[in-house]
Amino acid sequence: MRDVIVAANWKMHTTPTDAGELARVIAARTRIAGVARVICPPFVCLAVVRESLAAVDPSVSVGAQTVHHELAGAFTGEISAPMLVGLATWVILGHSERRRDAGETDALIGRKLGRALDAGLRPILCVGERLEEREAGRQEAVVRQQLAGALAGHDPASLRGGGLVIAYEPVWAIGTGRNASGADAARMAAAIRAGLATAGLAEDGESTSVLYGGSVTSVNIGEFLAEPGIDGALVGGASLKPDEMAGIVARAGLTAQGRGLVP
Ligand code: PEP
């Protein structure tokens, strides 16, 4: 049975002064059985968010937004996977903003994936096409390529053991207020699962959680979670708003209940 997951990507928002309180409020307002909740604040807020959640609701997990592809060395300003142990248990990899702004390639993301798995961090691997690629009808080919590139060379057993999660995030929908349709996301989730099978994760194609991300709100989340192939959301802008998170996780709770994940 696949996990139902709502992950909050706070991006470059919050400071150590306000992040703990925001995490506390979100945790208190999203206590819904059957939904795995993950908060991914900036690196400098990981410790305070972790402490805050440990006090109010330790079932909410903490994630980082990226990780370096080397273990240690002369990489000014970077953070490696072993440094995150004790601070985070999840990590977002290959977000389109990092592909765009930090020049991350599929091969580099693949190396980061290895570091994350070795450190015991559960990866959320982001894939998604740009607008011109969708307009050219190449969206599935692009996403299959991103997936194959990042997973190449990885032992399927370690991906399986590490709890790999895939987030389908069409670039044109991120932070734009424009979202894909539920049907588009479901078609892509099927293509992603076919891609996982090609990468040697035959059975896991069906057991890997696939999230949708891209301008998700409490209003449109239902359209995505109505699709049996979509297992939750990676939420950006709306994840900074407790009311929005309350609505999104409540809707995810209905999906978890419908799938028999709630005792
Ligand atoms: C994201 O950053 O992963 C994201 C989906 O952002 P937004 O929800 O703001 O589009």
Neighbours of 72 (CB within 10 A): 10
**Catalytic pick from 169, 223, 227, 244?**
169
Distance 95 CA to ligand 1 centre (A): 9
pLDDT for residue 197: 87
Of 174, 179, 224, 245, which is best to mutate to test ligand 1, by the most ligand atoms within 8 angstroms of its C-beta? 174
Q: What is the pLDDT of residue 75?
A: 98
Residue 176 has pLDDT above 90, yes or no: no
Is 95 one of the catalytic residues?
Answer: yes
The answer to whether 21 is a known catalytic residue is no
Q: Is the pLDDT of residue 201 over 80?
A: no
> From the CB of residue 55, how many other CB atoms can be counted at a distance below 10 Å?
11
pLDDT at position 203 over 90: no
Q: Which CATH class is domain 4-44+51-218+232-238?
A: alpha beta
Ligand 1, closest atom to CA 174? 10
Q: What distance in Å separates the CA atoms of residue 244 and residue 61, rounded to the nearest whole number?
A: 18
CA-proximal residue: ligand 1, atom 3 (nearest): 236
pTM of the model: 0.97
Report the separation in Å between the CA atom of 124 and the middle of ligand 1, taken as the mean of its atom positions.
13
Supply the pLDDT for residue 36: 98
Closest to 205 (Cα-Cα) out of 190, 216, 215, 218: 190
Find the residues whose C-beta lies inside 6 A of ligand 1. 9, 11, 169, 174-175, 213-216, 234-238
Residue 205 pLDDT: 64
Give the chain's mean pLDDT: 95
Give residue 148's pLDDT band: very low, low, confident or very high (50, 70, 90).
Answer: very high
* pLDDT above 70 coverage of the chain, percent: 98
The β-bridge relationship of strands 61-64 and 35-40 is parallel
What is the per-residue pLDDT for 204? 61
In the reported structure, the alpha carbon of residue 214 is separated from the centroid of ligand 1 by a whole-number distance in angstroms of: 5
